[in-house]
A and B are shown apart, each in its own frame.
Chain A
Amino acid sequence: MTLVLLAIGVLVATGVAALPVRCGTRAGTVTAAGAVGAATLVVGPALRAMLGASLPGIKRVWSVPLGTFSLGIDALTGVFLLIIVTIGALGAVYGVPYLTRTAPGRRLGVPWCMYNLLLASMLVVVTARDGVLFLVAWEVMSLASFFLVTFDDRTEEVREAGWTYLLATHIGTAFLLAMFLLIAEGGPLSLEAQVVRPTPLASVAFVLALVGFGTKAGFWPLHVWLPQAHPAAPSHVSAVMSGVMLKMGVYGLLRVLPLLGPPAVWWGWVLVGVGAVSGVGGVLFALAQHDLKRLLAYHSVENLGLIALGLGLGTLGLASNLPVMAALGFAGALLHVVNHAIFKSLLFFGAGAVVAATGTRDLDQLAGLGRRMPVTARTFLVGSAAISGLPPLNGFVSELLIFLAALAGISERTAGVVAPAAAVLAALGLIGGLAAACFAKAYGVSFLGEPRQPLAAHDPAPPMRRVMVLLAALCALIGLGGAWVVPGLTAAVATLVRVPFLELQPVLGGDVGRILAAVGALGAFFWVLVLVLLRLRKAVLGEREVGASPTWDCGYAAPSPRMQYTASSFAQPLVELFRGVLHTHHDVAPPHGIFPRTARLATETPEVVEVGFLRPLFAAIARLAQRLHVLQHGRVQLYVLYLALALLALLVWQLGGGW
């Protein structure tokens, strides 16, 4: 625990030290050194806690009403600590050359300070064992990330994204405040996992927690801020926000659920429903996007949906007394938290490399980057396959655990378990298929084919490249070595399933371990086969006649790069099929006459929740607020009158004896 406190201190100190530094690169180097230092301090205790060691916490009296300064580390905290410091440090290392290139000459003291503050606040969020401390850290986290989102504050779009985010996160916090007040029942609230106090209002608290934490996690329909904020932020910040900060919502849910006592069955249904809707909705909207980072942002909604599916099955297993299903569901969700942190930050780093090299995020403008940016292309490909849940990479392993939980549920007798399990199966299939389609699009049109316009793109600076290669290697390693990773989550899952560690060991260490060992062995066999085939192919082609010609375009003699399929055209069949959900706007000027001069087609898929629900809602609130203008004339005399009246009322109340 001392080491974690020390790490928080290092983060804050280096962040503050970077504030006055004029040179952007130097400010970045200072904070990045702090982030890496903090990571080295935290990794040890985080790993030990994750594997089940009980580390002493810290408890101090705090002068804040209802608050105690209480920190602790358990296995669940360990898992989240690990991803915060790893991705945080990698993001900082990546961010220094990235900002040097994309924002040359700017003073970066404040954004870098905010970056480390964000990391530090997340460390406090996951170690806090007191409700007030948790909320304070939560708020610091939200504000720090707000300042990072609005990094590019001269752009109108970015400012708007920032406001949306600020509003959304505070609405979420309001729900959390209500939830904490409710379960604390007026007293101080300890978040210690051992103190289980079932309250009669547990279900209300569950809904409040789902809304509050779901806003941060980006569950549909609370995700509205996400597709705006991620493209607006610099890429390394998007990576940390999407890969790590969204997970704080998941952490919050996992931390609070045990406090609510034994779960009701319908909580599981709600989580499965939220997961299925977020998953399918997220990936559908991602398909319709042609901004690379906006597309990735929608995929965060999708992946958090997958995590919610796991949480739902876990909760359902708890409520229906099926500990194996519960363990598999929670383990799948937790592993997906880790995996998503890895491949999503990798993809955002890749997108950042593309943005730094080309200056655009528009997929319809990009093509043929693969030859010019081979490292970015290969690592982005690994990330794309991993996020689509394809074997033998890490995304597949966590989806397999969720799938196993669903299989455990579908053999049950009660319809209350079978129906959600079947829904999870269908959702997993649809999400997987659509995600593969979406990443075939994202990778295929940007990195493959012929460049649409002359580009001088090249791979990014060595630190950025190394970060991406490292993350891609992690994707492959967890894909093959799931048998070693999942047992490491046993202690964390045991706290969630509320059974002793030793009871879960045979499930997650034994059965699942054997399954994942088989998956790993077959994965290794697959890689060997691919290498052998490619070797053979090379040898065979080496001694034969090999010609080169332009691409066969069905006899067309003068193909040009502009004729290639674009991202929009690639996604068109699916977008058209789901037009009832997506409401894509088409702006068409069709060609006329025998020799058409111009023709134009532009499509845009606005956020349906925002346009269809939130804007009208806030417009209505604004109209209502207008009515209050009656009270507010801007005349000082009237305001003095209000003051006098209020004082008079208070006086009367006090004289009457109060309550």
Chain B
Amino acid sequence: MVSASIVGVLAGLILAPLLGGIINRVKALFAGRSGQPLLQPYRDIAKLLRKGAVFSTTTGEMFGVGPAIGVAAGVVGLTLLPLGGSRAPVAFSGDFLLLLGLLALARFCIVLAALDTGSAFEGMGASREVAFSALAEPAMLLAVGALVRATDAQSLSAAVGAVWKQVWQPSMPAAVLVAAALAVVLLCENARIPFDDPNTHLELTMIHEVMVLDHSGPDFGLVLYGGALKLWIFSALLAGVLVPVRCGSPWLDAVATVIGTFCVAAGGGAVESTMARLRLVRVPQLLVGAAVMAALAVLLVR
């Protein structure tokens, strides 16, 4: 049991950047391009970690602390993350809030690192980032509430582990709503289309990317890796709810969930290929919609 949990954390640490590669390949497939290699995100991070850096003369200590905290929060978050039926190394009642808190802490520090540069563009990105994430938070907590209500388990590992037995059969609509809310939050928190376009060329339209414009070298490598960890956490959580494989062996459950995680990433790539980015004024509506879906799920359970 323990070994499977530890392997789950290692899998997250190692496989996280792969999700970005999968998304890019799927997008290339849709566009009829051959696309970048699957392992390109690893190469990017490795290259950045080997480089020197250029710092803005405006920045101070916060600028360097932000990316480090982003990665540290992601790593600690991984220790709370179950892979389907395979429990996380650490599980306790209410660990949902710690996981969300860690991700919020990472965001808070990246936002401050952006403000540290004194650039109007980075300020703009930071301002949008905090606005959207503030609206995504209630949706996330209500989805957690629905999950807890459906499974009667108060920790992440127990709740996700119990999904197969209880949620999918009696309260199908609630499960669908929870999954939909989680998916919306995933796309928002990880700066994907329809909330943010990771490939945009214009700083004015960026949200997440513009915040890290001034980061270079190892710092930027940490930013990318922290982002990958965050995407992994959200995708694995969604996959844990969506993939109903609970065969009793933590190893098989974990493998099924990892495959599910890849499928979630592929789904994200498909969304990005077929949708345009929403206008900024529409984004809050979608997030409030997600919160409403999650609230409905709370009501519909059982």
Contact = CB atoms under 8 A, between A and B. Distances in A.
Do A and B pair up? The answer is yes
Interface of A: 367-368, 370-371, 381, 385, 388-391, 396, 399-400, 403-404, 406-408, 410-411, 418, 421-422, 425-430, 432-434, 436-437, 439-441, 443-445, 448-450, 511, 514-515, 518-519, 522, 525-526, 529-530, 533-534, 537, 540-541, 544-554, 559, 561, 563-565, 569-574, 577
For B97, B107, B133, B213, which residue has the most chain A Cβ atoms within 10 angstroms? B97
A445 B136 CA distance: 24
Given A396-B101, A425-B141, A439-B108, 5 more contacts: A411-B148, A429-B138, A448-B112, A525-B79, A570-B127
A515 B75 contact: no
Interface in B124-168: 124, 126-128, 130-131, 133-142, 144-145, 148-149, 152, 154
B101 A390 contact: yes
Contacts of A537: 64, 68, 218-219, 222
Nearest to A385: B108
Contacts of B284: 577
B123 A564 contact: yes
Nearest to B152: A411
Contacts of B203: 554
Given A449-B116, A553-B120, A533 B141 contact: no
A407 B93 contact: yes
B243 to A, nearest CB: 24
B93 A548 contact: no
A525 B73 CA distance: 10
Contacts of A385: 105, 108
B123 A569 contact: yes
A547 B118 contact: no
Contacts of A418: 149, 298
B35 interface: no
B20 to A, nearest CB: 21
B233 interface: no
A390 B193 CA distance: 27
B51 A422 contact: no
For B58, B61, B95, which residue has the most chain A Cβ atoms within 10 angstroms? B58
Given A422-B298, A547-B54, A572-B127, A525 B93 contact: no
B13 interface: no
Contacts of A572: 127
10 smallest beta-carbon distances between A and B, as pairs:
A565-B123, A433-B134, A444-B115, A449-B118, A437-B130, A429-B137, A429-B138, A545-B52, A433-B137, A429-B141
A201 B15 CA distance: 64
Nearest to B120: A563
A403 B119 contact: no
B115 A448 contact: yes
Contacts of B58: 368, 449-450, 550-551
B38 interface: no
Contacts of A551: 56-59, 117-119, 122, 214
B123 A530 contact: no
Contact of A422 (B52, B73, B142): B142
Given A399-B97, A411-B149, A552 B214 contact: yes
A408 B286 CA distance: 29
Q: What secondary structure prevails in chain A residues at the interface with B? A: helix
6 contacts: A436-B108, A444-B116, A534-B64, A540-B49, A541-B53, A564-B123
Given A440-B115, A529-B72, A564-B118, A548 B57 contact: yes
Given A444-B126, A553-B120, A565-B120, A515 B136 contact: no
Interface string B285-301: 00000010001001000
Nearest to A549: B54
Contacts of A406: 145
Interface residues of B, number: 83
B223 to A, nearest CB: 12
B14 interface: no
Q: What secondary structure prevails in chain B residues at the interface with A? A: helix
Given A410-B149, A573-B131, A426 B138 contact: yes
A565 B61 CA distance: 19
B263 interface: no
Interface string B173-205: 000000000000000000000000000000100
A449 B295 CA distance: 40
B237 interface: no
B214 A522 contact: no
Contact of B295 (A426, A441, A448, A561): A426
Nearest to A412: B149
Contacts of A571: 127
B107 A526 contact: no
Contacts of A563: 120
A39 B203 CA distance: 55
Interface string B80-115: 100000000010111111100110110110011001
A526 B134 contact: no
Given A429-B138, A541-B52, A550-B56, A522 B79 contact: yes
A563 to B, nearest CB: 5
Contacts of B276: none
Nearest to B97: A403
A559 B123 CA distance: 14
B130 A426 contact: no
Nearest to A519: B98
A309 to B, nearest CB: 13
B30 interface: no
A544 to B, nearest CB: 4
A421 B93 CA distance: 16
Given A549-B57, A573-B127, A404 B93 contact: yes
B60 to A, nearest CB: 5
A441 B131 CA distance: 11
Contacts of B72: 526, 529-530, 533
Given A445-B115, A573-B128, A440 B54 contact: no
A554 B149 CA distance: 49
B148 A407 contact: yes
A346 B265 CA distance: 43
B52 A574 contact: no
Contact of B218 (A427, A437, A540, A552): A540
B65 interface: yes
B121 interface: yes
B6 interface: no
A524 to B, nearest CB: 10
Given A522-B76, A526-B102, A422 B56 contact: no
Contacts of B115: 440, 444-445, 448-449, 565, 570
B300 to A, nearest CB: 12
B298 A371 contact: no
B107 A436 contact: yes
